[in-house]
Structure 1
Amino acid sequence: MIDPADAALRKHSVVIAGHRTSISLESAFWDGLRAIAAADGRSVASLVTEIDRRRTGTLSGAIRVYVLQRAARGALAGG
């Protein structure tokens, strides 16, 4: 069962290449993004900047795909 709190959209501001932008993601994706950044020993802003450089679609969509791919590889569980 999906926790409604995990599905709620949350907006955060992030600085990318010196520009502040707002990103809306579900709470579960923000949590995953923070966990990945921590596991990699980097800031969320640094990770989002990397994702932004490599994306072909929307930034929020690229972040969701990145988090899902890392989760599939076990990165969120420390593997």
Structure 2
Amino acid sequence: MSQLVKKSFSLNGHRTSIALENAFWARLQKMAGERTLASIIVKFDTERDQNQSLASTLRLAVLKHLEAELASCGATKHDAS
């Protein structure tokens, strides 16, 4: 079973810890690209529904990102046929 890994960040002037599986941390880092991991966390934090936890928001952002990648691959594969 995958274990949660906690990381701490400063969001809007206060420290917070977020617990996610390593696979999510790795994908978020990839999504951040040249930016820092903290910057992408702040971005999703400011855009999220305040009724949803930040961890859930981040997991859903990764899912949405992967779905977009898959759709892009599917379109490219289809166009090449």
Separation in 1, partners of 2:7, 2:18: 5
Structure 1 counterpart of 2:38: 45
Q: Count the aligned residue pairs.
A: 68
User: Amino acid of the residue matched to residue 11 of structure 1?
Assistant: K
Q: Tell me the TM-score normalised to structure 1 length.
A: 0.78
Measured on the aligned residues, the alpha-carbon RMSD in Å equals 1.4
Per-residue CA deviations over 1:3-49 (Å, capped at 9, x if unaligned) read: x4xx21100001112221100001110111111112xx211111101
User: Quick check: which has more Rg, 1 or 2?
Assistant: 2
Structure 1: state its 5+ residue gaps: none
Separation in 2 of the partners of 1:16 and 1:47?
Answer: 11
Note the alpha carbon deviations across 1:44-67, whole angstroms, 9 max, x for none: 111101100111100000000001
State whether structure 2 residue 4 is matched by structure 1 residue 21.
Answer: no
- Which consecutive unaligned segments of at least 5 residues does structure 2 have? 71-81
Structure-to-structure mapping, 1:1-79, within 5 angstroms: 4=1, 7-38=2-33, 41-56=34-49, 57-74=52-69
Work out which structure has the larger RCO, using CA pairs closer than 8 Å and 6 or more positions apart in sequence: 1
